[in-house]
Amino acid sequence: MFIVLSLSTALLQPAIQALGSAVLRLNTGDSALGTWIAYLCAACYLVSRLPQIYRNHQRKSVQGLSIGMFSLAVFGNLSYALSVICKCVPEPWRLQAAFPFILGSMGTIIFDAVILLQCWIYRPHRYLAEEVSFRSS
């Protein structure tokens, strides 16, 4: 098993290095393609929460939705954005290059917060159900 892993790593290393150098060329200013891809990624990431927000609003329910998943998504996006910002603090010129990544993660936190707010607004009203049950007995 170890020999197979070592052999496969040795065979893949040139491909990984070539991919890494291609990505580095895209992000060093030789091409704006890397920046456009980053903004496209941020836009897709931002828009990804809208169908769930709309569906929750239409149904007036968040049944089946994992609050834990969205809570962890908020924490993950917040820690990612803060790590990017902290990395850019010593070299402020990097903030411009990192902006699409910060926008994608921080913007998504806003939509995640909307979903968490919907979880609170559309929560089951236990006391109301108990009151109706008590009156009908």
The pLDDT tens digits of the residues spanning 95-110 come to: 888 888 888 888 889 9
DSSP state of 91: S
Query: What pTM was computed for the model?
Result: 0.63
Banded pLDDT at 6 (limits 50, 70, 90): very low
Q: Yes or no: say if 37 and 23 are a contact pair by the CB < 8 Å rule.
A: no
Q: Yes or no: say if 118 and 50 are a contact pair by the CB < 8 Å rule.
A: no
CA distance 132 to 137: 9
- Burial (Cβ within 10 Å: 0-12, 13-18, ≥19) of residue 12: exposed
For the 41-136 domain, the top CATH level (class) is: mainly alpha
Domains of the chain, by residue range, sit at: 1-31, 41-136
